[in-house]
Copies of this chain bind each other. A is one copy, B any other.
Amino acid sequence: MLNFIDTVGEAVAGIKDGSTVMIGGFGNAGQPFELIDALMDCGARELTVVNNNAGQGDQGLALLIKEGRVKKMICSFPRQSDSWHFDAKYKAGEIELELVPQGNLAERIRAAGAGIGGFFTPTGYGTMLAEGKETRILDGRGQVFETPIHADVALIKALKADGVGNLVYRKTARNFGPIMAAAAKHTVAQVSEIVPTGGLDPEVIVTPGIYVNSIVKVA
C-alpha cells in the first residue's frame, strides 16, 4: 500500500534494529539526505546498510557509522578522502565490510527485485573478491556466482512522484534508486514534487508505483 507521509521522521519510523537498509545515491546525486538524517534520529541500531560508498565527511551515512549504528556495510567503494568515520570504525574492527564490485552490487540488487535466485558474472573472476565463491566457465569465460541482496527498507530520492507512486528521476541522480526500490520490502522515496495522477507520461516512468510504499515531499 502506498502512503503519502508528511515528514521524513514518520517515513522512517518503522525501521527496526537489525534491519537491512538500502540507501540510494552515487556521490551526492540521488542521496536522500533528509531520509538518512531521519534514520539517524529514529535511533535504529545494528543496521546493515547497502550503498555504493560508506559515508563521506561528517554528514548522513558517515554520522550513522560514527555513532555505531551500522553493523555492516555492503558497498563497492568505502575508502574516500573524507571517509574518516568508516575508516576509523573499520580499523578498530567495529564494522563489517562486504566489498562488492560496483556492477555486481547493482546486479545483485536488481536480482533481488526481479526474483532471480543467483547469477554468474565474469566480473571479479580470478580476483580476491571471488575467493570462496563458486565459479564456472560459461560462454567461454570464467564467471563467479553471486546472490541477490534483499533489503527490509530502501531509502531513495526521486524528482517527482504522481498519486500512485510512479517516480521519475533527474540525470545521473537516477543511479541506484530504481533497483533499490524493487529490491526492498518497503521503499520510502523522498521527492521534490508530487504531481496529480496522470501528470507523468506513462512512457517515461522509471519506477512504477508498485515498488513504492511511502512518499514524502522534501522541499
Contacts and interface: CB of A to CB of B under 8 A. Distances in A.
A166 B146 CA distance: 31
A interface residue count range (under 10 / 10 to 19 / 20 to 34 / 35 or more): 20 to 34
Interface stretch (A31-39, A53-61, A79-87, A135-143): A135-143
Contacts of A201: 204
B122 A117 contact: yes
A170 to B, nearest CB: 8
A136 B119 contact: no
Contacts of A30: none
Contact of A121 (B116, B120, B121, B141): B116
Nearest to A117: B138
A173 to B, nearest CB: 11
A138 B122 CA distance: 21
